[in-house]
Structure 1
């Protein structure tokens, strides 16, 4: 009988925590996705000249470029 009461009180506590979490999430201010996506697109367009994935890396400044070539005999 005692373990049934403890189990019941644990589930009530868990339900209360979940309810508190959901209330907190419901009260959060949300951003409109269209505004956020537009800002992201604008940022990417403004910084595309410095993006190495778009412009590439000069061979002279690439630290990962092999210094020597491998020769097999």
Structure 2
């Protein structure tokens, strides 16, 4: 039983590797250039670069804690 199980697992692995090998790959330099261009085009609307106004921040506490 274990031999047939290992054969089945090996066949699945081979099939997966064949699928991955047949995939078309993008050149890293092209993808990185596109990413840099996208970031530069959208930098004005990026909250990580411009920050979030305190009035529109949904995560800011609405009430302060008061101890009695």
Is this a same-fold pair by TM over 0.5?
yes
CA gap 1:68/1:7 in 2 versus in 1, 3 angstroms: closer
Q: CA–CA distance in 2 between the matches of 1:60 and 1:15?
A: 58
Deviation at 1:11, TM superposition (A): 1.2
Deviation at 1:58, TM superposition (A): 2.1
Q: Which has the larger radius of gyration?
A: 1
RMSD of aligned C-alpha atoms? 2.0
Q: Secondary structure at the match of 2:17?
A: helix
CA gap 1:67/1:15 in 2 versus in 1, 3 angstroms: closer
The answer for unaligned runs of 5 or more in structure 1 is 1-5
Given the two structures, how large is their TM-score scaled by the length of structure 1? Answer: 0.74
Aligned length: 68
The answer for unaligned runs of 5 or more in structure 2 is none
Deviation at 1:53, TM superposition (A): 1.3
Q: CA–CA distance in 1 between the matches of 2:42 and 2:13?
A: 42
Name the counterpart of 1:31: 26
